Amino acid sequence: MNFVIPTIPDATRAQHASKGWPLALAGSVLLLVSGLLSWSYDPSILGDISIAFWPATFQLFAMILGVIGIVLALMHQGPLSKLGNWFDAALGLRALGTASLLVILFGLFAISYQAGGLININPGGWVALLGAILLLVGGRFVPQRTLHSFAKAKANSTLEIVVIVVLMALVLFGLAYVLGQDDPWVFVGFLIMAGGAAMALARAGFFTWLSHISQRHRHVLTLAAFAVAFLFPFTQDGSDANMSIATQVLIFAATAIGLNIVVGLAGLLDLGYIAFLGSGAYVAAMMSNAASATIGWKPPFVVVMLIGACVAATLGLIIGSPTLRVSGDYLAIVTLAFGEIFRLSMFNLDGNNGPDLTNGPNGIPGIPDLNLFGFDFGKPHEIAGFTLGRFSNYYFVLLLLIGFIILVFTRLNNSRIGRGWVAIREDERAAEAMGVNTFALKLLGFAVGAFLAGLAGTIKAHQDTASSPDQYIFLESAFLLSAVVLGGMGTVAGVLVGATILKLLPEKLRFFSEYRLLLFGLLLVVMMRVRPEGLIASKRRQLEFHEDDEALASEIQQDHLVEKAAEAAR
């Protein structure tokens, strides 16, 4: 039995269409005004929202939602109505109304829970609630308009570049803000607000337009993204706590991009991929200057990185050669077994049950920090008046590594090899019938993905200062696969977003104690139900999940023609 969300009949919406726009605009204005009012008597709640005309946390969240609502309302009818021919302001207002109500209700619940009752909510909170309700009701009655296709849009190039730069600056500010929040209520509220605002903008078509201008200014977007990533440590005021999370995110993302080759491009389900990361880490640990290191040869770290990556690639070839002749569930079971075999092997290589290489369950602790060309990664450094701690030093190296990995991924994806992988994923038998060497390409995918994971593992060993078997359990492989699926298989940006969410949320949701993984799992279930193609999906994958969407198919075809015309012009 399917559950159908009730919608307003078209006849009812047409009858009350004249009331929708004023209600939505009034609700947005009330949200904006509520941010200037006091929400609580207690200054210790939610970052002091008791002060009027000095907005903080939830007051700012309400103001941001109000501004977006005003812009969407004026795009539908008002000074910005020309933009309404391109953006679906009606759908955006409907999504924004739902998101605003969720944010405000969560904020009021947080105040009443911490202060001991609804009586402690000041007028600002009630004004925000009224505004959210008006926006929700008004948005439901705003009629949709016939829109132009973004594929035919021609905008000012300078304006498009400015939009990209401003958006990247907002991403930098948002990351710095969310990592700096110690109050769990504020953190969750920010996530709801950011997710709701993003959903409203997506429904309005903003991200569709953004994807078009990103295609036209791909190099500008790439440069701006790396500039944001480079400047991020300078926003943390020398905080090692936040930078530790950031380095874990980069290691996780670099490994997930390698897995994206196997899963996202070639369509091979690998449930033991964490073993390749672990093999690189153990090679670096055994060749380090740690007192418990078991190999006497101490080559330069660049050589260690290549050795660790090649060892991981060799393991990929060893496991791939006999097993890639099976597929589906059988391949998943074999790769799962390989991940467990690796972990158990690290337990047994202790000198008693096997060669003395890994010190068994004790692992290899006390791995010293890197020292490249006289630069000690373990010491803080002053740059332009900013203090960069130990984790910031590793962050920059990992940033270079992930840049290299992204380059490898994109080059392979756009090559004949990448097209062969996609053909195998779509229909292996058809690809083989067309002359594609499916076994060799699948084996190459395993080897390249393992090579990239091994590179990340060598840096991880020094950043963690230890390497032990307990770090490479099946749950880590499951998280890597979740990052690829959640973000969007076959895309770089999607995997980066997925890896960030999967590493950041568990760290910031520790106040939920043992329930955090349960909440996290529920979030993934909802995400797979609402957007199964992933947060940032490729057009091909998106169409696979929405085969009946003729408008989407037409848009993808137009995008393809525009891209071919742009390539021909270049």
Note the pLDDT tens digit of each residue in 66-93: 999 999 999 988 888 888 788 888 999 9
Residue 124 has pLDDT above 80, yes or no: yes
251 and 163 share a domain?
no
Cβ atoms of residues 288 and 363 within 8 Å: no
Note the pLDDT tens digit of each residue in 363-395: 899 899 888 887 888 888 888 777 888 888 999
Closest to 246 measured CA to CA, from 47, 402, 479: 402
Is 344 contained in some domain?
Answer: yes
pLDDT, average across residues 346-361: 83
Residue 1 has pLDDT above 70, yes or no: no
The more confident residue out of 519 and 420 is 420
Containing domain of residue 73, as a range? Answer: 10-232
What band does 557 get if pLDDT is binned at 50, 70 and 90?
low
What's the pLDDT at 387?
80
Residue 543 has pLDDT above 70, yes or no: no
Q: Is 47 exposed, middle or buried (0-12, 13-18, 19+ CB in 10 A)?
A: middle
- Residue-wise over 451-477: b if at least 16 C-beta within 10 A, else e? bbbbbbbbbbbbbbbbbbbebbeeebb
149 and 217 share a domain?
yes
- Token pair, residue 35, equals 């941010």
- Residue-wise over 154-173: b if at least 16 C-beta within 10 A, else e? eeeeeebbebbbebbeeebe
248 and 222 share a domain?
no
Cβ atoms of residues 34 and 100 within 8 Å: no
380 and 263 share a domain?
yes
302 and 365 share a domain?
yes
- Token pair, residue 509, equals 């949701």
341 and 422 share a domain?
yes
170 and 294 share a domain?
no
Report the C-alpha gap between 196 and 135 in whole angstroms. 13
Torsion over CA of 132, 137, 143 and 144, rounded to 10 degrees?
A: 50
Q: Is 203 exposed, middle or buried (0-12, 13-18, 19+ CB in 10 A)?
A: buried
DSSP notation for 228-278: HHHHGGGGTTT-HHHHHHHHHHHHHHHHHHHHHIIIIIS----S-THHHHH
Domain boundary among 232, 255, 280: 232
Cα–Cα distances (Å) from 280 to 33, 283, 286, 309, 310, in that order, read: 55, 5, 10, 6, 9
Give the chain's domain count: 2
Note the pLDDT tens digit of each residue in 144-164: 877 766 655 666 778 888 888
320 and 412 share a domain?
yes
Is 298 contained in some domain?
Answer: yes
Is 227 contained in some domain?
Answer: yes
Is 540 contained in some domain?
Answer: no
Is 537 contained in some domain?
Answer: no
325 and 379 share a domain?
yes
Report the C-alpha gap between 425 and 403 in whole angstroms. 26
**Pairing label, strands 375-376, 371-372:** antiparallel
Q: Look at the block and give the residue holding tokens 């990209």.
A: 164
Is 45 contained in some domain?
Answer: yes
228 and 340 share a domain?
no
59 and 169 share a domain?
yes
Report the C-alpha gap between 126 and 138 in whole angstroms. 18
Domain boundary among 430, 459, 478: 478
Domain boundary among 202, 232, 262: 232
Is 355 contained in some domain?
Answer: yes
What band does 99 get if pLDDT is binned at 50, 70 and 90?
very high
274 and 134 share a domain?
no
What band does 5 get if pLDDT is binned at 50, 70 and 90?
very low
Cβ atoms of residues 472 and 346 within 8 Å: yes
Radius of gyration over every alpha carbon of the chain, rounded to an integer in angstroms: 26
* Angle at the Cα of 357 from the Cα atoms of 478 and 316, rounded to 5 degrees: 40
What's the pLDDT at 29?
96
Is 565 contained in some domain?
Answer: no
What's the pLDDT at 4?
39
